[in-house]
Amino acid sequence: MSCEFCNLPQEALREELLTLARQYGQIRGMGLSLDMSRGKPSPVQLGFSDEMLRVISRGDDCFTEEGFDTRNYGLADGVPELRRIFAALLGVNEEEILLGGNSSLTLMYDAVCRAMLFGTGGGALPWKDQGNIKFLCPSPGYDRHFAISERFGIEMIPIRMTGKGPDMDEVEAYAAGDKSVKGMWCVPKYSNPTGETYSPETVRRIAALRPAAPDFRIFWDMAYALHDLDDTPDALENIFHLVRGTAGENMVLGFFSTSKITYAGAGVAAIVSSAENIRRAKAEIAYQTISPDKLNQLRHAKYLKSAENVRAMMRRHAEVLKPKFDEVVRIFQKELGSCGFASWTEPHGGYFISLDVLPGTAKRTVELCAGAGVTLTPAGATYPYGKDPEDKNIRIAPSYPDIPELRTAMGIVCACAKLAAAEKLTGQTAV
Ligand SMILES: Cc1ncc(COP(=O)(O)O)c(C=O)c1O
């Protein structure tokens, strides 16, 4: 590793440590309180959808185009006009979509739960009756995916992310070689937290997987499928087209929601999969509910109107988000650019920037930030079991704060990353 900072002689490093510690003391004295722990839309972004609160205001507004009264039970597949919009946005057929409630995470949890309790269908044994089972976990990844696996006692195997998606040699070897490997978590577009998009080759190799376990399932989380930030967006190969009509048709379970399109946690979520998987899921969900919240679905259909209109909305989101991402990158470049130990992603979309600090200092950096009033996602959260093997990855969520707050927070993150590095390199704790 060669950088101005790391190459300082010990004496100069100790001086630097004292300077950084003094600076940290001043920051602490500012009494800040900034929460950047989760990727939430900002109030400005939420305001874009406030028109949605007005599209249904009386009983007469509650009917679908075909005249169905959404105030009543029925329409278990969801409101048809919203299904059509989702199908157009995701490039799939309407019978490959099942609309649900407010959260795609709930649908993912339920899909794992169903497979555990009842199996994946076609005579497969429930996962709970197959001994120790495992999931492949591209890492760094989404902490809540890993939390679902952990909750169900599913062993997690970390898979290295390459910048083009997971290391497919590893994925193929595990999937083909071990029948107890039952699934893989994927955020294929603008992955959380690295922001990378799976390359066409990666997606084709995933679609072509022929795992040893016939009940292997890919959890394809399209949380950021439409969330481009700039004029050179990443393109994602359509895995549903690739598997349709093949032996792997039922292998992919897709998930989507409008949490970062309309309202977070108050949008509409969907399962996207083969027509057969959709029929199966629907039959099981029928035990849980008579029908989903169709009023919210209709509100979304009336407000979103068309796939084209949703794409226009996403451009408005990007106008707010892009300057925030640019600001984070500008500050990292300015403050950490000469530190060879730090690197970060510059994604073309999504909600996160992934920052790597000096190995062995991510936890300490996050701890120092907390002490200075900036709450970040806990270090390690982006890895299975909360254990970053190199203790270097920190997830940055630039969406919620306004730009002055973001500027302050990122300045503090950089100061803390340098202070933690100086502590590590001198073997001294300064604060
Ligand atoms: C990758 C990913 N999937 C799912 C979610 C949650 O989605 P929902 O609000 O639809 O449950 C998030 C939220 O941050 C996310 O980053």
The atom number, within ligand 1, closest to the CA of 191 reads 1
Q: Is 5 part of a structural domain of the chain?
A: no
Q: Is 1 part of a structural domain of the chain?
A: no
Instruction: Give the integer Cα–Cα distance in Å for 422 and 16.
Output: 7
* Ligand 1 pocket test target in 86, 142, 396 with most atoms within 8 Å of CB: 142
Q: For residues 408 and 339, state if they share a domain.
A: yes
Looking at per-residue confidence, does 375 or 2 come out higher? 375
Q: For residues 326 and 281, state if they share a domain.
A: no
The two three-digit tokens of residue 212, written as one number: 């040893």
The atom number, within ligand 1, closest to the CA of 352 reads 16
Do residues 413 and 373 make contact, with C-beta atoms less than 8 angstroms apart? no
Helices 307-336 and 80-90: crossing angle in degrees, nearest 10, is 50
Q: For residues 189 and 88, state if they share a domain.
A: yes
Q: For residues 338 and 363, state if they share a domain.
A: yes
Q: For residues 149 and 294, state if they share a domain.
A: yes
Give the predicted TM-score (pTM) of the model. Answer: 0.96
The two three-digit tokens of residue 410, written as one number: 């990122």
Instruction: Give the integer Cα–Cα distance in Å for 381 and 383.
Output: 5
> Could you read off the pLDDT of 378-396 as tens digits, one per residue?
999 999 999 999 999 999 9
Ligand 1 geometric centre to CA of 421 (Å): 32
The atom number, within ligand 1, closest to the CA of 260 reads 9
pLDDT band at 431 (very low <50, low <70, confident <90, very high): confident
Ligand 1 geometric centre to CA of 245 (Å): 29
The atom number, within ligand 1, closest to the CA of 38 reads 14
Cα-based distances in Å from 348 to 139, 193, 228, 230, 249:
19, 13, 6, 6, 30
The two three-digit tokens of residue 123, written as one number: 């005579």
Measure the N-to-C terminal CA separation of the chain; round to a whole number of Å.
Answer: 26
Do residues 120 and 126 make contact, with C-beta atoms less than 8 angstroms apart? no
Q: How buried is residue 327: exposed, middle or buried, by Cβ count under 10 Å (0-12/13-18/19+)?
A: middle
pLDDT band at 67 (very low <50, low <70, confident <90, very high): very high
pLDDT at 191 over 80: yes
**Average pLDDT across the chain, whole number:** 96
Residues forming beta bridges with residue 219, ordered by sequence position: 185, 253
pLDDT at 2: 55
Q: Is 420 part of a structural domain of the chain?
A: yes
Q: For residues 36 and 75, state if they share a domain.
A: no
Listed residues 305, 337, 355: the one ending a domain = 305
**What residue type is 287 in one-letter code?**
Y
pLDDT at 237: 98
pLDDT band at 72 (very low <50, low <70, confident <90, very high): very high
Ligand 1 geometric centre to CA of 173 (Å): 29
pLDDT band at 6 (very low <50, low <70, confident <90, very high): confident
Say which CATH number the domain at 249 has: 3.40.640.10
pLDDT at 250 over 70: yes
Q: Residue 321's domain spans which residues?
A: 10-45+311-426
Closest-CA residue to 220 (of 235, 232, 237, 233): 237
pLDDT band at 426 (very low <50, low <70, confident <90, very high): very high
Instruction: Give the integer Cα–Cα distance in Å for 166 and 188.
Output: 9
The two three-digit tokens of residue 165, written as one number: 């998606």
> Could you read off the pLDDT of 119-149 as tens digits, one per residue?
999 889 999 999 999 999 999 999 999 999 9
Q: Is 344 part of a structural domain of the chain?
A: yes
pLDDT at 166 over 80: yes
**What residue type is 292 in one-letter code?**
P
Ligand 1 geometric centre to CA of 151 (Å): 17
Ligand 1 geometric centre to CA of 246 (Å): 29
- CA nearest ligand 1 atom 14, residue: 39
Instruction: Give the integer Cα–Cα distance in Å for 135 and 117.
Output: 16
Ligand 1 geometric centre to CA of 152 (Å): 19
Q: Is 333 part of a structural domain of the chain?
A: yes
Cα atoms in the Cβ-side hemisphere of radius 13 Å centred on 161: 28
- Do the bridges between strand 343-344 and strand 269-272 make them parallel or antiparallel, or are there none, so unpaired? unpaired
Residue that is written with structure tokens 């998930």 in the block? 255
Buried b (16+ CB within 10 A) or exposed e, 380-396: bbbbbeeebeebbbbbb
- CA nearest ligand 1 atom 15, residue: 223
> Could you read off the pLDDT of 31-42 as tens digits, one per residue?
889 999 889 999
Ligand 1 geometric centre to CA of 105 (Å): 6
Q: For residues 240 and 379, state if they share a domain.
A: no
Q: For residues 246 and 186, state if they share a domain.
A: yes
pLDDT band at 348 (very low <50, low <70, confident <90, very high): very high
* Ligand 1 pocket test target in 105, 185, 351, 377 with most atoms within 8 Å of CB: 105
pLDDT > 90 in the chain, percent:
94
Listed residues 283, 305, 327: the one ending a domain = 305
- CA nearest ligand 1 atom 2, residue: 223
> Could you read off the pLDDT of 82-92 as tens digits, one per residue?
999 999 999 99
pLDDT at 133: 98
Name the strands in the sheet holding 97-99, side by side, starting at the edge strand that comes first in the sequence: 97-99, 269-272, 252-257, 217-221, 181-186, 134-139, 155-160
Q: For residues 422 and 339, state if they share a domain.
A: yes
The atom number, within ligand 1, closest to the CA of 106 reads 11
Instruction: Give the integer Cα–Cα distance in Å for 374 and 384.
Output: 24
> Could you read off the pLDDT of 286-341 as tens digits, one per residue?
999 999 999 999 999 999 999 999 999 999 999 999 999 999 999 999 999 998 89
Residue 357 phi/psi, 5-degree rounding, is -105, -175
Instruction: Give the integer Cα–Cα distance in Å for 428 and 431.
Output: 9
Q: Is 163 part of a structural domain of the chain?
A: yes
Mean pLDDT of 71-95: 97
In total, how many domains does the chain have?
Answer: 2
Q: Where are the alpha helices (DSSP H) in 9-93?
A: 10-29, 43-47, 80-90
Q: What three-state secondary structure class fits 226?
A: coil
pLDDT at 7: 80
Ligand 1 geometric centre to CA of 202 (Å): 22
Listed residues 268, 287, 305: the one ending a domain = 305
- Do the bridges between strand 269-272 and strand 97-99 make them parallel or antiparallel, or are there none, so unpaired? antiparallel
* Ligand 1 pocket test target in 109, 221, 255, 396 with most atoms within 8 Å of CB: 221
* Ligand 1 pocket test target in 40, 46, 192 with most atoms within 8 Å of CB: 192
DSSP H or E run through 227: none
Q: For residues 167 and 299, state if they share a domain.
A: yes
Residues forming beta bridges with residue 87, ordered by sequence position: none
Ligand 1 pocket by Cβ (under 6 Å): 39, 103-105, 142, 187, 192, 221, 223, 257, 259, 264-265, 269
Ligand 1 geometric centre to CA of 123 (Å): 31
Do residues 220 and 344 make contact, with C-beta atoms less than 8 angstroms apart? no
- Chain-centroid distance, C-alpha 350: 8
Instruction: Give the integer Cα–Cα distance in Å for 58 and 66.
Output: 18
Q: For residues 123 and 41, state if they share a domain.
A: no
Q: For residues 28 and 96, state if they share a domain.
A: no
Q: Is 52 part of a structural domain of the chain?
A: no
Angle value at C-alpha 363, between 330 and 167, nearest 5 degrees: 75
Do residues 13 and 3 make contact, with C-beta atoms less than 8 angstroms apart? no
Instruction: Give the integer Cα–Cα distance in Å for 425 and 189.
Output: 37
Residue 272 phi/psi, 5-degree rounding, is -125, 120
Say which CATH number the domain at 410 has: 3.90.1150.10
Ligand 1 geometric centre to CA of 222 (Å): 9
Q: Is 367 part of a structural domain of the chain?
A: yes
